[in-house]
Amino acid sequence: MSAPPPGVLSDVLGLPRGELAALLAPVIDRPYRVEQLYRALYEQGATSFDEITVLSRPLRAELAQRFRIGLPEVASRHVSADGTTKYLFRLVDGATVEAVDIPDGARRTFCISSQAGCAMACRFCVTGFWGAGRDLTAGEIVGQVLAIAGRLHAQQSLNLVFMGMGEPLLNVDNVERAIAVLAEWISLRRITVSTVGVVPGIRRLAAWERRPNLAVSLHAPDDARRSELMPVNRSYPLAELMAALREFPLEPNRRLTFEYILIAGTNDAPADADALARLLADAGLKDRAKVNLIPVNPDPVLGERMVPPAPEVVTAFRDRLRERGLVATVRRRRGDDVAAACGQLRAFGRDPRGFRRSNLSW
């Protein structure tokens, strides 16, 4: 459990029951009272201790003096023409993160952040242009979901994707703790953790007793180009990544998702589709894989050459993968008019670092 900043009360959000009971032990020594508080936070969406009227008034007052319900402040909210809503949350120490609510009929998908910033410096991602921030606590992760949803009770139609700001598997302890709480109300089949390919984190996730879905950012079928687009590949090249994914346990009817950003003139040729299919087949992953193609979302900080292919090129790439026996889909762009689409979330409150020098011949 992360310690709060000096002078800040301990947060009761994001703690599994055992940890919550230990935190509250100086005030509450009866398990059923802890359970009442727990249910009030997540099923009733309590935003202050005073709202938890099943607890006595003196107890509520003492809880408020010692602890906080750490819902993030909504600093701004932008609604896209397609109904997608982007939230800028301000955290207790002034750090900021963004999260996105994507409606799709009766279903909603929340894209939530695990870090305030990102050190991965992927060339197609705006967050990486601003550089690293800090890990979010489990409470700050869960708090994003509660701030958007209000409460977790009866959220059968809600999907959660850890695809916002940050690399979840560099903050695996807090992500695991947050998922342990969230999964009580949201099926693990509706929770996805997306990684750039941090192999030790993948192995940690593989060892969990119960696991969410795993999505892996691939974006190039060879080490040379992947290392230029994603510096993490220099630490965990494709052979090592594929070996870890081959060993990743999957429940029946579940697949690994491989995310592939399509960039015009960089990784979108028919030969690239063939190489991608061959990479997954040679790794023994073809029947365990789903490829999600994502036309890159342009942004001024990414440079003028970071543009998506023409729609017919995207369709041809998808069809070529399907012809080679892969499950392949194209992600529909959502929220790009408010910079809420994939790769467009920003980190505020510090100067942009920019990207490392690249050898890409653009």
Secondary structure, 3-state, 222-283: CHHHHHHHCHHHHCCCHHHHHHHHHCCCCCCCCCEEEEEEECCCCCCCHHHHHHHHHHHHHC
Q: Of the residues 118, 122, 125, 342, which is catalytic? A: 342
Do 158 and 144 contact (CB within 8 A), yes or no? no
What dotted CATH number matches 73-338? 3.20.20.70
Q: Which of 94-98, 123-127, 181-185, 351-355 has the lowest mean pLDDT?
A: 351-355
Tokens for 4?
């709060």
At residue 345, the pLDDT reads 78
342 is an active site residue: yes
98 is an active site residue: yes
Query: pLDDT tens for residues 234-277?
Result: 999 999 999 999 999 999 999 999 999 999 999 999 999 999 99
Mean pLDDT of the chain: 92
Query: pLDDT tens for residues 200-227?
Result: 999 999 999 999 999 999 999 999 999 9
At residue 359, the pLDDT reads 47
Q: Of the residues 35, 43, 98, 167, which is catalytic? A: 98
Instruction: Give the residue among 166, 163, 100, 94 at the shortest CA–CA distance from 130.
Output: 166
What dotted CATH number matches 11-68? 1.10.150.530
Answer yes or no: is pLDDT of 362 > 50: no
Confidence label for 17 from pLDDT (cuts 50, 70 and 90):
very high
Confidence label for 106 from pLDDT (cuts 50, 70 and 90):
confident
Answer yes or no: is pLDDT of 231 > 50: yes
At residue 361, the pLDDT reads 45
Q: How do the domains of the chain map onto residue ranges?
A: 11-68, 73-338
Answer yes or no: is pLDDT of 357 > 70: no
